[in-house]
């Protein structure tokens, strides 16, 4: 994880905390000021945060929620500039699909992402719901088991 954070900092000039910590304090600045991020910085954040997140989850360290939200928000900001899609909708899609795929809790995902988006979250509820279902179905179809189980139950069963 330290190597990922060091490589991220060397490549982007941004702080180590973006990769090392859960990301719950980084979601707000990322979403409120997406113009402060370069495309390369966002791609580096997604790549290095995903690697660090995989190492953390694989070693049973850290929680699954906020890193998934941060990675989804970064992907949402990246795709938010596509024609017909705004940054808010992109962030809503990224956060809800990422969180539903990791936690396998679509209702919790819809509520948490809607609350985190604040006043703009109410207009994004249909998009958040669709993205949560797509993220859940994708994760289940890529999983080798045939059941939908929350992350902790599945991790305890495989341990």
In tens, the pLDDT along 64-77 reads 888 999 999 999 99
pTM of the model: 0.82
Looking at residue 38, the DSSP 8-state letter turns out to be -
Residue owning tokens 């490549």: 11
Both structure tokens of 145 = 């088991």
Q: Is 82 helix (H, G, I), strand (E, B) or coil?
A: coil
Render 115-132 in DSSP notation, one character per residue.
HHTGGGGGGGHHHHHHHH
CA distance 74 to 155: 26
CA distance 61 to 131: 27
Q: Give the pLDDT confidence of 101-129 residue by residue, as tens digits.
A: 988 889 999 999 999 888 888 889 999 99
Phi-psi region for residue 13, left (φ > 0), alpha (ψ -120 to 50) or beta? left
- pLDDT for residue 157 is more than 60: no
Looking at residue 15, the DSSP 8-state letter turns out to be -
Mean pLDDT on 125-152:
82
Q: What is the band of 150 on the pLDDT scale with cuts at 50, 70, 90?
A: low
Q: What is the band of 151 on the pLDDT scale with cuts at 50, 70, 90?
A: low
- All residues at 6 or more sequence positions from 61 whose CB lies less than 8 Å from its CB, including other chains: none
CA distance 86 to 13: 27
């Amino acid at each position: 994880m330290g190597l990922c954070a060091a490589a991220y900092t060397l490549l982007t000039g941004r702080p180590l905390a973006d990769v090392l910590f859960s990301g719950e304090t980084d979601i707000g600045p990322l979403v409120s000021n997406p113009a402060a991020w370069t495309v390369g910085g966002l791609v580096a954040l997604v790549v290095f945060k995903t690697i660090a997140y995989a190492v953390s989850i694989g070693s049973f360290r850290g929680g699954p929620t906020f890193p998934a939200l941060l990675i989804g928000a970064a992907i949402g900001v990246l795709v938010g500039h596509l024609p017909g899609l705004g940054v808010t909708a992109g962030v809503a899609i990224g956060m809800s699909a990422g969180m539903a795929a990791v936690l396998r809790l679509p209702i919790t995902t819809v509520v948490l992402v809607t609350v985190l988006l604040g006043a703009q979250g109410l207009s994004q509820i249909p998009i958040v719901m669709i993205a949560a279902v797509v993220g859940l179905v994708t994760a289940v179809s890529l999983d080798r088991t045939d059941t939908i189980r929350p992350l902790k139950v599945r991790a305890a069963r495989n341990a």
